Chain A
Amino acid sequence: MVGATEEARLNQLESQVDNGGGGAWEYLCLVRKLKARRSEKVLRHGIFILNSHIARSKLGGEEWTLYEQVAVAAMDCHRNDIANDCIEALSKKFPGSIRVGRLKGMLLEAKGAWPDAEKIYAQLLVDNPLDQIILKRKVAIAKAQGNLAAAVEYLNNYLETFMADHDAWRELAELYISIQMYKQAAFCYEELILSQPTVPLYHLAYADVLYTMGGLENLQAAKKYYASTINLTGGKNTRALYGICLSSVAINQLTKGRNKDEKDSADLQPLAAEALLKDYKERAPEKLPLVTAMLRNIKLVS
């Protein structure tokens, strides 16, 4: 995840490089460090460096890192010819390297030759069965082919060993949501919340899943997690505000007869509605009537 200051720095460098102000290599380094996905820019500037002899020789050993970075960016932009050239150069320099083998597999993937790519990965896995990237590539292949069940299975196998890898948990959660296995997805989001309790996005996604599952208990929990998202974002998250409104309406519907609603959070929904209206008034006044009508419909605003 990219922090705000780092992103600002990245954007500043990018505009500087785009306008011919130099610093292309620093920009590429920063992109690599932050794992940002700006393949087009990386491809353009990277190729520029690789094509000029002087700039390339200045890099020394880092040249090969650049080749790898450009190869991946080229695949992302579907310039398989460039990627092929880069990989060729790399495999001439490092014959038999796993990293180059990985790139070859990725190139095959980019071309859509799934069985060939899988064959390459299987070979690489024989030598070191714990290569995280290759295991993840296998998941990606399954996902790219639309075989979500297989992707889930691979990912579960992966998590069996690397169970502290939260990015994998996130991917698994999204996969589960797309095949509508909400209970499992909820488990994944719980795992994510455990590993990074201060990231509001996980709270929000977990609340969404709970709300989708429905039922009084889940709805109440969903409302709580929407509340904690608001807490963590300082009330700036529109989706969480909507979530509060909708989940409290749903709870009211379910408990209408019994009237055993908790008293302590009764203020939350009108406040959320008010905050929503204020937000719209500031940022999208033309949509304000729509929102007001909608909130009036569900009887949150009189």
Chain B
Amino acid sequence: MAEDLVLDTAIRDWVLVPLSVVMVLIGVLRYFVSKLLRSSQTPDAKVVREGQLILRARNLRAAGGFIPVKSFRARRFYYTNEENGLLHVPKGQAQNPQAQMFSDPNMAMDMMKKNLSMIIPQSLTFAWVNFFFSGFVAAKLPFPLTPRFRSMLQNGIDLSTVDVSYVSGRSWYFLNLFGLRGLFSLILGEENAMDDTQRMMQMGGGFGVDPTKNLGAEKDGIDIIQHEWTLPKMEQRAEMVLRKLVK
């Protein structure tokens, strides 16, 4: 057993603590920088309109039961009819979001800024960690793990005899990267809860969202729902309420 690996206290003072502190500080710094960079772009009328339209359609879907059948049908027709319904998108008009992005340099610029504020500090920190701390055994997990985790936790140490629960400096960096997001959401407010990993996923899954797709989905949703007027039920309930009140 390589159980009694003795770690120098200098490692704590010069690797473990600084690494975590730097990660926290960088997270905070990045938050403010991205706040600074966030340009107040003037939105396009069509985009605003589509966003609001989706909100309104969603309201109809959620609370459709509160208005009479006739009104509901009229609205549904208004949204989804095939000729000029608001949610109906003609086939040819659905343009490629990629093309749309390149036609609008502002949007591309914004995306760039967002990504840069994420990628630059991340790669810099990683390079820094790699350069200074790659060979260290920085920490020990308080629980045992199977050897499968070796490549994950002992990134940068090529010793197969060391117990798996010892963590190398580089892996400590990754642990921090994932574990600190909770702390960030506490100290920086909720909007930071959307973390790097999620953002990376989004980036992989296609640049930007296609608004026409949203419209189509909303249209299908409205087409499907059945109208059930909740008001008659309300009458009986009101009766109950009054009976209680009068008594």
Q: Are A234 and B63 in contact (CB under 8 A)?
A: no
Interface residue from B45, B64, B237 paired with A129 (Cβ < 8 Å):
B45
Note all chain B residues with C-beta closer than 8 A to A235. 238, 241-242, 244-245
Measured CB to CB, the closest approach of chain B to A241, in angstroms, equals: 8
A274 to B235, CA, bound (A): 16
Assuming the A-B contacts A194-B63, A194-B66, A234-B241, are A130 and B48 also in contact, with contact meaning beta carbons closer than 8 angstroms in the complex? yes
For residue B68, which residue of chain A has the nearest CB?
A221
List 23 contacting pairs A-B, 8 Å CB cutoff, sorted by A.
A130-B48, A162-B48, A163-B53, A163-B56, A164-B53, A164-B55, A190-B75, A191-B56, A194-B59, A194-B60, A197-B62, A223-B235, A227-B235, A227-B238, A228-B234, A230-B238, A264-B235, A267-B239, A268-B235, A274-B246, A275-B242, A275-B246, A278-B245
Q: Any chain A CB within 8 A of the CB of B236? A: yes
A187 to B78, CA, bound (A): 13
Q: Any chain A CB within 8 A of the CB of B52? A: yes
Interface residue from B45, B52, B55, B241 paired with A230 (Cβ < 8 Å):
B241
Q: Any chain A CB within 8 A of the CB of B119? A: no
Interface residues of B in 201-245 (CB under 8 A from A): 231-232, 234-239, 241-245
A235 to B239, CA, bound (A): 9
Measured CB to CB, the closest approach of chain A to B76, in angstroms, equals: 12
Assuming the A-B contacts A194-B64, A221-B68, are A271 and B234 also in contact, with contact meaning beta carbons closer than 8 angstroms in the complex? no
Q: Any chain B CB within 8 A of the CB of A161? A: yes
Q: Are B66 and A197 in contact (CB under 8 A)?
A: yes
Q: A187-B71, A191-B56, A194-B60 are in contact. List 18 more A-B contacts (CB 8 A).
A: A130-B48, A160-B49, A163-B49, A163-B52, A163-B55, A164-B53, A164-B59, A190-B71, A197-B66, A224-B234, A224-B235, A227-B234, A227-B238, A230-B242, A234-B245, A264-B235, A265-B236, A278-B246
A159 to B83, CA, bound (A): 22
Interface residue from B48, B53, B55, B67 paired with A190 (Cβ < 8 Å):
B67
Q: Are A164 and B52 in contact (CB under 8 A)?
A: yes
Q: Any chain B CB within 8 A of the CB of A259? A: no
A193 to B59, CA, bound (A): 9
Q: Are A275 and B53 in contact (CB under 8 A)?
A: no
A190 to B75, CA, bound (A): 10
Note all chain B residues with C-beta closer than 8 A to A275. 242, 245-246
Tell me how many residues of A have a C-beta within 8 Å of chain B.
35
A252 to B56, CA, bound (A): 37
Q: Any chain A CB within 8 A of the CB of B42? A: yes
Q: Are B59 and A224 in contact (CB under 8 A)?
A: no
Q: Are B242 and A268 in contact (CB under 8 A)?
A: yes
For residue B230, which residue of chain A has the nearest CB?
A228
Q: Name A residues whose Cβ lies closer than 8 Å to a Cβ of B.
A: 128-130, 160-165, 187, 190-191, 193-195, 197, 221, 223-225, 227-228, 230-231, 234-235, 264-265, 267-268, 271-272, 274-275, 278
Interface residue from A164, A224, A225, A231 paired with B56 (Cβ < 8 Å):
A164
Q: Any chain A CB within 8 A of the CB of B43? A: yes
A182 to B237, CA, bound (A): 28
Interface centre among A193, A194, A264, A267 (most CB of B within 10 A): A194
A267 to B241, CA, bound (A): 12
For residue B74, which residue of chain A has the nearest CB?
A187
Measured CB to CB, the closest approach of chain B to A288, in angstroms, equals: 15
For residue B53, which residue of chain A has the nearest CB?
A163
Interface centre among B75, B244, B245 (most CB of A within 10 A): B245
Measured CB to CB, the closest approach of chain B to A17, in angstroms, equals: 29
B16-49 contact mask (Cβ, 8 Å, vs A): 1 or 0: 0000000000000000000000000011010011
Q: Are A197 and B235 in contact (CB under 8 A)?
A: no
Q: Are A228 and B238 in contact (CB under 8 A)?
A: yes
Interface residues of B in 130-174 (CB under 8 A from A): none
A42 to B180, CA, bound (A): 43
Q: Which 6 pairs show the lowest CB-CB distances between chains A and B?
A: A227-B238, A228-B234, A164-B55, A224-B231, A271-B242, A197-B63
Note all chain B residues with C-beta closer than 8 A to A190. 67, 71, 75
Note all chain A residues with C-beta closer than 8 A to B245. 234-235, 275, 278
Measured CB to CB, the closest approach of chain B to A247, in angstroms, equals: 12
Measured CB to CB, the closest approach of chain A to B103, in angstroms, equals: 20
Q: Are A161 and B49 in contact (CB under 8 A)?
A: yes
Note all chain B residues with C-beta closer than 8 A to A191. 56
Note all chain A residues with C-beta closer than 8 A to B68. 221
Note all chain A residues with C-beta closer than 8 A to B56. 163-164, 191, 194-195
For residue B240, which residue of chain A has the nearest CB?
A231
Note all chain A residues with C-beta closer than 8 A to B234. 224, 227-228, 231
Q: Are A271 and B243 in contact (CB under 8 A)?
A: yes
Measured CB to CB, the closest approach of chain A to B115, in angstroms, equals: 26
Q: Are B48 and A231 in contact (CB under 8 A)?
A: no
Measured CB to CB, the closest approach of chain A to B12, in angstroms, equals: 40
Q: Are A227 and B231 in contact (CB under 8 A)?
A: yes
A18 to B211, CA, bound (A): 52
Note all chain A residues with C-beta closer than 8 A to B244. 235
A234 to B43, CA, bound (A): 43
